[in-house]
Structure 1
């Protein structure tokens, strides 16, 4: 019987020890949240798809800097893979338990505003208007009926990379890249090295790196469906473009194109690195692959060539925004974090450490002269900054969100020889207009 006298004592000891766990370092998430609540802090859950060994430490350093900059808000980072993040976000919104801030696709920001999936930021911008901090094209993409539903974070553009040694070998001035479509053709003819029906070196193929739609916007500076929901597919400039692109396709032939495309799927064995491809349209971040896999490559960069002199070096880009999902518990605190995330300080840090284009103009221009870039890095980044005001986005159409599924097959019909460019554009125009008429 005496052994039962130890039970109350043991229970008391266990309760004391378990109670102490809440104060030990490394307790559970709930215990940490309780501790933060006791400190009077608001905890924000920030979702991103940046989980790589390069980007994750950078975004978490920005979060850490924000957390240390004030004592009212604590942001924690939740990584969700690219293929899952937005599906899970929409499910969380529907369940009434969304994250506090999420990184989302810029081109669908207005659509999410229309669908009431993101918080309207107008009340915050009335008191703290930061709209002028960002490139106009990026800012406009966040608007639905005049109100912003997300703040631009990072972006990109397309530029022309070219091999200076190949230029010299072909008798071209390596400091004078092609400026027009005609010059692109002329340069490619000189740069091509052909062996029978195959090529040892390909001068240029316009649809390595970008697709038909980018060249069409380069030609007439108009999206397929404009801001007034008018369909602008079958236009004279777009017809010229499709005929020009088909000329390239016929020049090299499907077998050569597919063979070279297969080589380009390998980052390390990209034919541009070996000099077997003389010119290539790519994002400025392509430079990091050159830096890592072909550090001795003698290359230059230029704006995307224009259709004809005076037409404009229009390029295309995308990007991401920081949003407050609809129904977020602490939108005021979320706004404070988003302001920091898109400030010059945080944006410049992201730009330099990632060699990535950012939405904040001042940060972008400052990053271009960073001492952390070598001469080639500065050359590429400076050109990217120059290209940003010339870069168009393709916001998701509110009247036909999936219209490109109707358009792209028509382009393929041309390259496969099934339709003329005239018929393909006529059919694409009719298909999209029919889709919009159903709404």
Structure 2
């Protein structure tokens, strides 16, 4: 009889333990001695630049009300998401986490993030750029709030333009002009390049962005339909291979081997005359390239009038599944993504705010080159495409990227490579 009672007790203990790890919201919220609900906030912002900024925002929120206290936990890039998934599975996650914007639907489908729709009114979404808001909605429910975003721009050295006989106030508008300008900007000593006018795969965007640009803004997957193997994407890869052939793979690799950050960046060191990168690249130029006379422009369009399409990314604030204080977590998210905090983040980081009012306020306060570059990135959002991962094709990039690498190495033709990539992605449809 005693053994039977012990067995029953053991079963109840196990069931109770499993219930505690089920990801529900039944756990009691942690509170301070004075009764404030503790919201544990995880980010990967631990640098000397960004950590003080996010902690100032947290401090301002904590001082703005007397019901919630947010505690910041820094976790290194990469580790944060592994630990997030482990903590969700164990039933003891953070209350708010900064996560990738293009994978929200995947996390929603997998039950890793809370549906926060009931905490937001219908007008809340109007604060944010529509193409960003689309990424946080899955099956008509909201699972995150956009925090920031980015877009790719063309930075060009005006001094080298003048040296090459090009108008420093007229950057290339099409791929044909980009190639024409680059050849004029090349500076060689025999077979060795002292300066390369341009190479399309340094540093952003990658091959997928050029294919999307060529294909009238069409990504790999549109409305659940595969658009990987299209004539324009094949043409884009053939164009990329021509750049490599003209400059020479050895020269491309030799230049890349010398790349570094900050003042050793090849554009800042004036070893490359035109450079594509996200808008925040400007902060490197501002801090380490004061000698540069540069301009910024949209990525050239495939043909005249086809669109200066750019890839976009960014991050969201979300509530991991199983948070014991989701309502308080959302209250903090509302502040974090509101105009005041977003403007402060944008002004200090030169980041593209997801909040429209904050972006416009930032533009109005910046001056000189700061204003010129930030305004250019905000305008560029109109032709920036996000790449949300469809739930039917999880991790589809893992099937495509190795094929693209083999195409660039000459192991397979663009046409056959994209045909293979599309079949490989189709095979993982769930």
Normalized against structure 2, the TM-score is what? 0.90
User: What's the counterpart of residue 152 of structure 1?
Assistant: 146
Matched, 1:326 2:321: yes
Q: Give 2:93's match in structure 1, choosing from 95, 98, 104.
A: 98
How many residues align? The count is 399
CA contact (8 A) 2:301 2:309 kept: yes
Deviation at 1:226, TM superposition (A): 2.2
Q: Give 2:391's match in structure 1, choosing from 391, 395, 398.
A: 398
User: What's the counterpart of residue 218 of structure 2?
Assistant: 222
Deviation at 1:396, TM superposition (A): 1.8
Shift in CA distance, 321/421, structure 1 to aligned 2, threshold 3 Å: same
Q: Give 1:45's match in structure 2, choosing from 40, 44, 52.
A: 40
Query: Counterparts of 1:220-259 in structure 2 under 5 Å?
Result: 220=215, 221-228=217-224, 230-259=225-254
Q: Give 1:298's match in structure 2, choosing from 290, 293, 297.
A: 293
CA contact (8 A) 2:105 2:137 kept: yes
Deviation at 1:308, TM superposition (A): 0.7
User: What's the counterpart of residue 176 of structure 2?
Assistant: 182
Q: Secondary structure at the match of 1:160?
A: strand
Deviation at 1:234, TM superposition (A): 0.7
Deviation at 1:40, TM superposition (A): 2.7
CA contact (8 A) 1:150 1:323 kept: yes
Deviation at 1:191, TM superposition (A): 0.7
Normalized against structure 1, the TM-score is what? 0.88
Query: Counterparts of 1:21-36 in structure 2 under 5 Å?
Result: 36=32
Matched, 1:354 2:349: yes
Q: Secondary structure at the match of 1:277?
A: coil
CA distance in 2, matches of 1:321, 1:175: 36
Shift in CA distance, 337/128, structure 1 to aligned 2, threshold 3 Å: farther
Q: Give 1:206's match in structure 2, choosing from 189, 200, 206.
A: 200
User: What's the counterpart of residue 272 of structure 1?
Assistant: 267
Deviates more, 1:50-59 or 1:388-397: 388-397
Deviates more, 1:399-408 or 1:91-100: 399-408
Deviates more, 1:360-369 or 1:311-320: 360-369
Q: Secondary structure at the match of 2:146?
A: strand
Q: Give 2:400's match in structure 1, choosing from 397, 407, 423.
A: 407
Matched, 1:173 2:156: no
CA distance in 1, matches of 2:347, 2:42: 22
Deviation at 1:93, TM superposition (A): 1.2
Deviation at 1:370, TM superposition (A): 2.1
CA distance in 2, matches of 1:47, 1:153: 14
Q: Secondary structure at the match of 2:221?
A: coil
User: What's the counterpart of residue 116 of structure 2?
Assistant: 121
Deviation at 1:128, TM superposition (A): 5.4
CA distance in 2, matches of 1:313, 1:147: 32
Deviates more, 1:409-418 or 1:240-249: 409-418
- List gaps (5 residues or longer) in structure 1: 1-32
CA contact (8 A) 1:155 1:319 kept: yes
User: What's the counterpart of residue 163 of structure 1?
Assistant: 157
Deviation at 1:410, TM superposition (A): 1.9
Deviation at 1:46, TM superposition (A): 0.8
User: What's the counterpart of residue 413 of structure 2?
Assistant: 420
User: What's the counterpart of residue 74 of structure 2?
Assistant: 79
Q: Give 2:258's match in structure 1, choosing from 254, 260, 263.
A: 263
CA contact (8 A) 2:263 2:269 kept: no
CA contact (8 A) 2:36 2:68 kept: yes
CA distance in 2, matches of 1:292, 1:392: 29
Q: Give 2:427's match in structure 1, choosing from 427, 431, 434.
A: 434
CA distance in 2, matches of 1:44, 1:262: 44
Deviation at 1:400, TM superposition (A): 2.1
Deviation at 1:120, TM superposition (A): 0.7
Q: Give 2:302's match in structure 1, choosing from 307, 331, 334.
A: 307
Instruction: Provide the aligned C-alpha RMSD in A.
Output: 1.4
CA distance in 2, matches of 1:332, 1:435: 36
User: What's the counterpart of residue 344 of structure 1?
Assistant: 339
Which whole-Å deviations, capped at 9, do the CAs of 1:103-125 have from their partners, x for residues lacking one?
A: 11111111111111111122122
CA contact (8 A) 1:135 1:389 kept: no
CA distance in 2, matches of 1:404, 1:43: 38
CA distance in 1, matches of 2:53, 2:295: 28
CA distance in 1, matches of 2:287, 2:173: 28
Q: Secondary structure at the match of 1:81?
A: coil
User: What's the counterpart of residue 29 of structure 1?
Assistant: none
User: What's the counterpart of residue 278 of structure 2?
Assistant: 283
Larger Rg: 1
